[in-house]
Amino acid sequence: MQEHEKVFQDYLATKGLKLTRTRALILNTVFDMHEHFDVEALYDKIKTLTDSISRATVYRCIPLLKDANLIQQSMRTSSRDSFEHIFGHPRHIHWICSKCGTIVETDYEELTPILNRSAKRIKFAMGELKLNIYGLCWKCQSSENENQ
Amino acid sequence: MQEHEKVFQDYLATKGLKLTRTRALILNTVFDMHEHFDVEALYDKIKTLTDSISRATVYRCIPLLKDANLIQQSMRTSSRDSFEHIFGHPRHIHWICSKCGTIVETDYEELTPILNRSAKRIKFAMGELKLNIYGLCWKCQSSENENQ
DNA sequence: TCTTCTATTGAGAATGAGTCTCATTGTATT
DNA sequence: AATACAATGAGACTCATTCTCAATAGAAGA
Ligand SMILES: [Mn+2]
Ligand SMILES: [Mn+2]
Ligand SMILES: [Zn+2]
Ligand SMILES: [Zn+2]
């Protein structure tokens, strides 16, 4: 049994729920996707593995994975919520190119102490943290110049 | 003519569009709202000022105001996009209480040099920047303890 | 002033991501 | 096996947002 399966099972147990075959399939597919994904893409991928899966079941599993700290909702791409697995990965900043959609990730390291200080000042108990920066990646900057 | 009207008019002119009476009404209502708002709330407020306004027109105006840098989409509250006017206000960090919905705002000042350095390192041309931190406000932290 | 042309608008239909219902199935317990 | 209840699939449903289209406004010209 893989580490993330154990984590999910433990979380589900605290809610009186079980790690069923279907939930395990969804979980493992999530950890096989190494990009950000939306629920539709996840559903499509699972459909290639089994023919009996309902979109509703996939949607129902998402909040469970989220509460178990196995995935996070990271951004919103063309009207769909976009997720990624975070178990075993540190959370990170997303630099999103508004032109080509490329996403670059950097870590929070330098920001953390500053944010902790701010949190303390305003007496805020930090939970989820989401920093998305939109702009142009280096490729799209150069192609902008070409077009001039 | 107010400053933000001038800005909007100038922006619209670059697109071959005009600052119509309806657009001016929407713009001014936006600048009369001093909280974060969703389109439905904006529409409701405008309806108290005139009876002939279409939801579609309000929705159509939003991307114009956004591209003119007069408003920004800040967060998403119960399935609706939430906006705020930013002309004349610096962009800021949002600390969002997951329990009561209270939003505290702090500035980016200390973060800016760090982010600029990161942007330079990855050759990214920063545009819009969105930092939302979810957690518990001080009030909800104490009420959590009460309930134990 | 009267026409012409185009952008703008209102009303409501359409879209689509996400949620909900309910009949059926799986599984643990007695 | 019988009971009890969680879990699932199928598809209906919701509701924020977008789209369509006919009617209107308003600028520019005759
Ligand atoms: Mn990521
Ligand atoms: Mn704000
Ligand atoms: Zn790019
Ligand atoms: Zn609170």
* Interchain CB contact of B19 with A (< 8 Å): no
Min Cα distance A11 → chain B (Å) is: 20
The pLDDT > 90 percentage for chain B reads 91
Instruction: Indicate which ligand has the atom closest to the C-alpha of B102.
Output: 4
* Tens-place pLDDT, residues B75-134: 999 999 999 999 989 899 999 999 999 999 999 999 999 999 999 999 999 999 999 999
Residue B21: name the closest of B9, B37, B38 by CA.
B9
Q: Is B104 on the interface with A (CB under 8 A)?
A: yes
pTM for the whole thing?
0.92
- Mutation to test the B interface, candidates A124, A134, A139, most B Cβ within 10 Å: A124
User: Which nt is closest to the CA of A20, judged by C1'?
Assistant: D7
Question: In this predicted structure, what is the pLDDT of residue A142?
Answer: 86
In the DSSP assignment, the letter for residue B30 is H
- Closest to A133 (Cβ–Cβ): which among B97, B106, B129? B129
Tell me the backbone φ, ψ of residue B60, rounded to 5 degrees.
Answer: -65, -25
The pLDDT mean for chain B works out to 95
Contact flag A133-B130 (C-beta cutoff 8 Å): yes
A99-125: b or e for each residue (b if 16 or more CB lie within 10 Å)? eeeebbebeeeebeeebeebbeeeebe
The pLDDT of residue A148: 40
Q: What is the pLDDT along chain A (148 residues), one digit of tens a residue?
A: 899 999 999 999 999 999 999 999 999 999 999 999 999 999 999 999 998 999 999 999 999 999 999 999 999 999 999 999 999 898 999 999 999 999 999 999 999 999 999 999 999 999 999 999 999 999 999 877 665 4
Domains of chain A from N-terminus onward: 1-89 (1.10.10.10), 90-148 (3.30.1490.190)
Out of B97, B110, B127, the one facing A135 most closely (by C-beta) is B127
**Cα distances (Å, whole numbers) of residue A94 to A59, A103, A131, B71:** 24, 6, 6, 22
pLDDT exceeds 90 at position B146 = no
Residue keyed to tokens 């989820």: A128
Measured CA B97 to C1' D7 distance, in angstroms: 32
Instruction: Identify the CA nearest to A27 among candidates A57, A75, A128, A56.
Output: A57
- Provide φ and ψ at A38, rounded to 5°: -105, 170
Average pLDDT over every residue of B31-47: 97
